[in-house]
Amino acid sequence: VTTMVFITVINKERKDVMTVTPWLAPVVWEETFDTSLIDSFYKMQNITVATTVFALGKYVQFLKDFLESAEKHYMQGYRVHYYIFTDQPEAVPMVTLGANRSLTTLKLPSSNRWQEITLRRMEKLEKLIDTQMINEVDYIFSLDVDTKFYGHWGAETLGDIVAVIHPGYYSTPRDEFPYERRPESQAYIPQGMGDYYYGGAVIGGRVEEVHKLAKICRMQLDMDKANSIEAAWQEESHLNKYFLYNKPTKILSPEYLWQDFKSKTDDIKIIRFSQVIKNYAEVRPNP
């Protein structure tokens, strides 16, 4: 199936953007895939797509728009199981879910450091897959909650291990990527190395592959913690290190992770998923 989808993706090639990586993974852009053909593969397989989001502290306010917009645009026609990690289960909004879509709330204590919240997601993801998912779920996406869907996000995003290009750095020269540059950190990437700068807001793939990623990133985060070092962009830095040595088999273009404050560029024909504008000082527990 992967091979057939891959062929579908690169057949309708766009000339203005890079649609395939040097290691031959497709980069998904509008006009590079045929939704009905892709659906005809995946619908037959009756797959379940787990979707994890963390909404701790004041970030619960983002859940309503996230879920309502996901119900309009995200994985329509597929079985979707949302797993919401929150310290305030009572604040999870009642959103009407479509057929074959369900939601589980998981209680988690918050932290007084936002950095701790974002980096602990790897450990929670690893445990959740271990305990609840391995035989129940085919694919998984871990998504940031301070986001909204604006357009189609379907089975063209599925793959063994899937990364998204961070919208802030897709035209930045490699040596200016904000990778972790201190050799003391397990997330260290030397100058001259690296392929893309991937965003921590979207991690996806087959459940076993995402488990492997979460486990390795969690182990490296633990080693950094033991050495009293925190990577420049927490788990996002470790994710970038992981993808340097374990190449994603599919890459999502910035259509799949935009930022509301950025104006659209000509190569972005559709914004599908975007980080909303937030007042960091107001929503985060610490500066």
CA distance to 21, 141, 163, 250, 251, per residue, from 25 (Å):
5, 18, 11, 5, 7
Q: Which of 26, 159, 199, 254 binds ligand UD2 (CB under 6 A)?
A: 199
Binding flag, residue 230, ligand UD2 (CB under 6 A): no
Count Cβ atoms below 10 Å from residue 167 Cβ, excluding itself: 23
CB of 274 to ligand UD2, least distance (A): 9
Q: Which stretch binds ligand UD2 (CB under 6 A): 15-23, 43-51, 232-240, 241-249?
A: 232-240
SS3 277: coil
Please provide the size of the chain in residues: 287
Stretch that binds ligand UD2, among 36-44, 50-58, 173-181, 262-270 (CB under 6 A): 50-58
> Rounded to an integer, what distance in angstroms lies between the CA atom of residue 227 and that of residue 64?
39
92 in Cβ contact with 68 (< 8 Å): no
Catalytic residue among 184, 236, 255, 282: 236
Query: Which residue, chain included where needed, has tokens 């379940």?
Result: 48
Cβ closest to ligand UD2, residue 45 vs residue 104: 104
Asked if 201 is part of the footprint of ligand UD2 (rule: CB under 6 A), the reply reads: yes
Q: Give one word for 49, left, alpha or beta, with left for phi > 0 and alpha for psi -120 to 50.
A: beta
One of 233, 243, 256, 273 touching ligand UD2 (CB under 6 A)? 233
Which DSSP helix (H) or strand (E) runs through 167?
Answer: none
Q: How far is the CB of 144 from ligand UD2 (least distance, A)?
A: 3
- Binding of residue 170 to ligand UD2 (CB under 6 A): no
Q: Is 117 in the site for ligand UD2 (CB under 6 A)?
A: yes
Residue number with the smallest Cβ distance to ligand UD2: 200
Binding of ligand UD2 by 224 (CB under 6 A): no
Confirm or reject binding of residue 275 to ligand UD2 (CB under 6 A): yes
Nearest distance in Å: CB 94, ligand UD2: 20
Nearest-angstrom CA–CA distance, 196 and 17:
14
Which segment (27-35, 52-60, 126-134, 183-191) binds ligand UD2 by CB under 6 A? Answer: 52-60
Shortest Å, Cβ 286 to ligand UD2: 9
Q: Is 236 marked as a binding-site residue?
A: yes
Q: Which is nearer to ligand UD2, 71 or 144 (CB)?
A: 144
Q: Where are the alpha helices (DSSP H) in the chain?
A: 2-11, 35-42, 63-73, 114-128, 207-226, 234-245, 280-283
Q: What is the helix, strand, coil percentage profile of the chain, to 5?
A: 35, 20, 40
CB of 180 to ligand UD2, least distance (A): 12
Mode of pairing for the β-strands spanning 198-206 and 161-165: antiparallel
In whole angstroms, what is the distance from residue 108 CA to residue 85 CA?
Answer: 6
Q: Which residue has the tokens 């996230």?
A: 66
49: three-class secondary structure by DSSP: strand
Specify whether 31 is catalytic.
Answer: no
Judged by CB under 6 A, does residue 54 bind ligand UD2? yes
Q: Residue 187: helix, strand or coil by DSSP?
A: coil
Q: Which residues bind ligand UD2 (CB under 6 A)?
A: 53-57, 59, 114, 117-118, 144-146, 166, 199-201, 233-236, 257, 275, 284-285
Q: Which residues are annotated as a binding site?
A: 59, 144-146, 166, 236
Q: Which residues are annotated as a binding site for Mn(2+)?
A: 144, 146
Q: Catalytic amino acids?
A: 236
